[in-house]
Amino acid sequence: MNEGVEWALHSCLNLAWIGEERAVTAARLAGYHELPPAYLNKQLQSLVRAGILSSVPGCQGGFRLARSLDRITLMDVVTAIEGPDEAFRCTEIRGQGPGATTGRPTAECAIADAMGRADLAWRRELAAQTLADVRARAERQAPGAPDRIRRWFADL
Amino acid sequence: MNEGVEWALHSCLNLAWIGEERAVTAARLAGYHELPPAYLNKQLQSLVRAGILSSVPGCQGGFRLARSLDRITLMDVVTAIEGPDEAFRCTEIRGQGPGATTGRPTAECAIADAMGRADLAWRRELAAQTLADVRARAERQAPGAPDRIRRWFADL
DNA sequence: ACATCCTGGATATTAATCATCCAGGTTACG
DNA sequence: CGTAACCTGGATGATTAATATCCAGGATGT
């Protein structure tokens, strides 16, 4: 799985902790975790295209959350970064070689179907968790983090 | 996800349909779906190491199922080919940069925890399905397949 | 005007996957 | 015996995806 998913999730939480007042620069978000700024910027752009973040161009511009954390699921973020494809990709090797059934279209591969069920269970669990849930758990585990983050992003 | 998972699953089903009487060569299993023989062989070796297949070396050698399909889950095969790591890998970017909490060990990252839940749901679904289930569904969708496979592997 | 900063495409770099090859050991068969 | 078939494991190369940077263009505050 793309490392950008982790960056995107942390950045969304950071944006929520910083607050809505102003947009935050990609370089600044990257600086907080020492991530490559240009590359994080790409991931943030994906979040914008997915409608999770909104971006402000120009001077004093940057990124902010397009909606509140309780309306963003893990599934939203994963799909935005990773794309819609499922992990298991059926290449239909049934249809290759002497085993191929000539002519008529075959029913769906039972193996792809089975793997698809597992993928569905994964997505369901991702869709069941909002970033608000994650944030709440994070604050319970590290109560000092929100303030620390707010302070760091506050000074110039 | 590794393409070898698909090959391994199809090969296990084929071995079950062929029957227990004799071992089947990697080249022969590969030939049925026009897969690269040497590379499929590698995947079969992984299945042997995982105890899913057993191999007989030497002339007239090959591979056979080490146990019946109802005792092999999708999880077994996926783990054998893909390894034990989960898809989402937490790189603990919390601990990098100015956001790092100095000193004491931090509680588990709430994001990694949340992604881990989804991974668990995925694995549970994989572990809940045996290859016998998959075989049954495949035979319902394509009743002619078992015979066709048996015949192709039967002649020299 | 000018500096800042997002956008999107092009491009380079690095790692993972896909695939082949070979030497070594094992077994059937003549 | 000895030879051909076949698995084993490591080394190696080719291909593709992930990672990362760069730049021209447009937008915006000062």
Amino acid residing at B23: A
- The answer to whether the C-beta of B4 is closer than 7 A to strand D is no
Mean pLDDT of all residues in B97-118? 84
The predicted-structure confidence for A80-136, as pLDDT tens digits, reads as follows 999 999 999 999 999 888 877 766 567 889 999 999 999 999 999 999 999 999 999
Task: Pick the closest to residue B31 from B7, B59, B3 (CA basis).
Answer: B7
pLDDT at B144: 92
CA dihedral A104, A105, A110, A116 (to 10 degrees): 180
State the nearest residue by CA to the C1' of D20.
Answer: A39
What is the spatial distance between Cα A133 and Cα A152, in angstroms, rounded to a whole number?
Answer: 24
Q: Is the pLDDT of residue B36 over 90?
A: yes
Contact criterion met (CB < 8 Å) for B137 and A114: yes
Determine the distance between B74 (CA) and C23 (C1') in angstroms: 35
The predicted-structure confidence for B70-93, as pLDDT tens digits, reads as follows 999 999 999 999 999 999 999 999
Option in B35, B96, B133 nearest A93 (CB) = B35
Q: Is the pLDDT of residue B106 over 90?
A: no
Determine the distance between A127 (CA) and C6 (C1') in angstroms: 29
Q: What is the mean pLDDT of chain B?
A: 94
CA atoms within 13 A on the CB side of B50: 23
Q: What is the band of A29 on the pLDDT scale with cuts at 50, 70, 90?
A: very high
Option in B34, B99, B129 nearest A33 (CB) = B99
Rg (CA), chain B: 20
Contact criterion met (CB < 8 Å) for B98 and A31: yes
Contact criterion met (CB < 8 Å) for A97 and B33: yes
- The answer to whether the C-beta of A38 is closer than 7 A to strand D is yes
pLDDT at B105: 62
**Which nt is closest to the CA of A24, judged by C1'?**
C5
Q: How far is B138 from chain A (nearest CA, A)?
A: 5
- Are the C-beta atoms of residues A152 and B99 closer than 8 Å to each other? yes
The predicted-structure confidence for B89-102, as pLDDT tens digits, reads as follows 999 999 888 877 76
Q: How far is A141 from chain B (nearest CA, A)?
A: 6
Mean pLDDT of all residues in B131-143? 96
- The answer to whether the C-beta of B61 is closer than 7 A to strand D is yes
From chain B, the residues in CB contact with A43 under 8 A are none
Closest residue in A to B135 (Cα–Cα) = A110
Q: What is the band of B104 on the pLDDT scale with cuts at 50, 70, 90?
A: low
Contact criterion met (CB < 8 Å) for A98 and B142: no
Sign of CA dihedral A97, A99, A102, A104: negative
Long-range contacts of B148-155 (CB under 8 A, 24+ apart): B148/A99, B149/A99, B149/B14, B149/B17, B149/B18, B149/B32, B150/B17, B150/B18, B150/B19, B152/A98, B152/A99, B152/B32, B153/B14, B153/B18, B153/B24, B153/B28, B153/B32
Mean pLDDT of all residues in B36-58? 98
* Chain C nucleotides covered by protein, CB below 7 Å: 3-9, 17-22, 24-29
- Are the C-beta atoms of residues B90 and B111 closer than 8 Å to each other? yes
Determine the distance between A31 (CA) and C2 (C1') in angstroms: 25
Option in A10, A31, A87 nearest B111 (CB) = A10
What is the spatial distance between Cα B114 and Cα A9, in angstroms, rounded to a whole number?
Answer: 11
Query: CB atoms < 10 A from the CB of B55, how many?
Result: 17
Determine the distance between A33 (CA) and C2 (C1') in angstroms: 31
pLDDT at A97: 81
pLDDT at A103: 61
Mean pLDDT of all residues in B39-47? 98
Mean pLDDT of all residues in B47-52? 98
Closest residue in A to B31 (Cα–Cα) = A97
pLDDT at A83: 96
pLDDT at B20: 81
Residue A133 burial class via C-beta count within 10 angstroms: exposed 0-12, middle 13-18, buried 19 and up? middle
What is the spatial distance between Cα B12 and Cα B65, in angstroms, rounded to a whole number?
Answer: 7
The domains of chain A, with CATH numbers, are 4-154 (1.10.10.10)
**For chain A, what percent of residues have pLDDT higher than 70?**
97
